[in-house]
Copies of this chain bind each other. A is one copy, B any other.
């Protein structure tokens, strides 16, 4: 899940164009992209928008983002907006393990038990219980820096140092729970360099992909969270050199100026595995 592109449910034109930039998954949004007075209309539109998108994109991962469990819109969103055409549901602002129970209950009532669940962790309370929330049963989770920093009363900066603690704690918790970690939004939609820089930071931290709020961000996300030819070739050379040394009993060698042992070997194998995997299996 290298890229997860959003469009608001009140913008059918944007929704229809979602697949064009080739994101790994798309999200029809009922939450932040829809204003309070139009939540009902958006909810009614969502199932049809999903079905249309599915009809022309049978292989695409299509999600619907509902409003948070604590809102008055949540129950109706889960009952009306979801459909068997959807791959899963995105639940924002999860702050408690009880929120997960509410989601599972609503999925059961909607008779959609097979739908995947992606949760958003994007508040002080959400971070405080992130280890418990991401402990299991969830497909993926995203880290919401904008909401978090607004909740804490801080300010976003290009460096992102203000969210490094929460972002790092999130990705560690996700990996422990076997949940795919998806990185924060970059709201400067005109600044491709800012997106790339932030994506590289997310990748270094251990994220699998990134939320995208503009089609132009998708290609960069797919590239940064994918495997480049150069990376693939280096991994192959490294494994060859290490395997030759290992035959003589040596497990740590110097390779192209660096000490290389078990962790680097594991990473190289993972690189080759991802380079060989079909796109929709890449995480």
Contacts and interface: CB of A to CB of B under 8 A. Distances in A.
A164 B166 contact: no
A11 B161 CA distance: 38
A263 B208 CA distance: 24
A201 interface: yes
A42 B205 CA distance: 35
Interface string A148-182: 01111111110001101110110110011000000
A41 B246 CA distance: 13
Given A37-B246, A172-B152, A254 B124 contact: no
Contact of A131 (B128, B156, B249): B128
A190 interface: yes
Interface in A111-140: 124-125, 127-128, 131
Interface residues of A, number: 78
Contacts of A206: 149, 152-154, 162
Interface string A1-37: 0000010101100000000000000000101111111
A260 B189 CA distance: 10
A54 interface: no
A76 interface: no
A219 interface: no
Interface in A184-220: 185, 187-191, 201, 203-208, 213-214
Interface in A251-268: 251-252, 254, 257-264, 266-267
A204 B156 contact: yes
Contact of A261 (B33, B149, B154, B161): B33
B168 A166 contact: yes
Given A10-B248, A124-B176, A213-B252, 11 more contacts: A10-B251, A33-B250, A38-B249, A38-B251, A125-B176, A147-B263, A150-B264, A154-B171, A162-B201, A162-B206, A190-B257
